[in-house]
């Protein structure tokens, strides 16, 4: 979606970016390899989740503040918000300007894309902390029907343009 709005309008922000960067520094790991979907990342995933939870417990806005530093675009897409506390931080910091979008996919379509459930990881707050959060402004269904997905995205993009 960011490429449709343009880089001068939309910044894609990843909460996992500063988390993985800080984790890599503290544990002498390859930050770039922690960013992809590799076996390297998976080897550290559980500990990285534990470590990130400790940071959030000490300061719930730690990673949120890090990703917005120096961002000048008027639209921010936080691509990996996974906790109610993350949404609350943005709502408290930016009020009504904060809009939430939930992307959902059936378990079957996720499995077709190569996802496999991992106990202790995929049922942790880092993966499902927003499953019962019911106040999303938009819900995008991504079950594999490209035309349906495209229509939903166009509607969302029109909404964003109407607010610029």
Give me the residues paired with residue 104 across strands. Answer: 141
Annotated binding site for ATP: 113, 143, 152
Distance in angstroms (rounded) separating the CA atoms of residues 102 and 81: 9
Structure tokens at 27: 């544990």
DSSP states along 49-114: HHHHHHHHHH-TTHHHHHHHTT---SEEEETT--SHHHHHHHHHHHGGG---EEEE--HHHHHHTT
**Numbered residues of the known binding site for substrate:** 142
Q: Which residues are annotated as a binding site?
A: 113, 142-143, 152
Answer for the pair 97, 133: CB distance below 8 angstroms, yes or no: no
């Amino acid at each position: 979606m960011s490429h449709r709005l343009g880089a001068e309008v939309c910044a894609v922000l990843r909460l996992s970016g500063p988390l993985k960067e800080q984790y890599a520094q503290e544990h002498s790991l390859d930050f770039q390899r922690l960013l992809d979907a590799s076996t390297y990342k998976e080897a550290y995933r559980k500990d990285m989740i534990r470590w990130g939870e400790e940071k959030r417990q000490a300061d719930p806005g730690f990673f949120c503040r890090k990703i917005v530093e120096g961002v000048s675009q008027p639209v921010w897409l936080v691509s990996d918000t996974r906790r109610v506390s993350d949404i609350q931080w943005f709502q408290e910091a930016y009020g009504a300007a904060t809009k939430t979008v939930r992307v959902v996919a059936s378990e079957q379509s996720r499995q077709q894309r190569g996802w496999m459930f991992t106990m202790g990881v995929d049922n942790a707050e880092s993966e499902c902390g927003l499953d019962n959060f019911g106040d999303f402004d938009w819900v995008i269904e991504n079950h594999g029907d490209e035309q349906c997905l495209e229509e939903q995205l166009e509607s969302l993009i029109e909404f964003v343009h109407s607010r610029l």
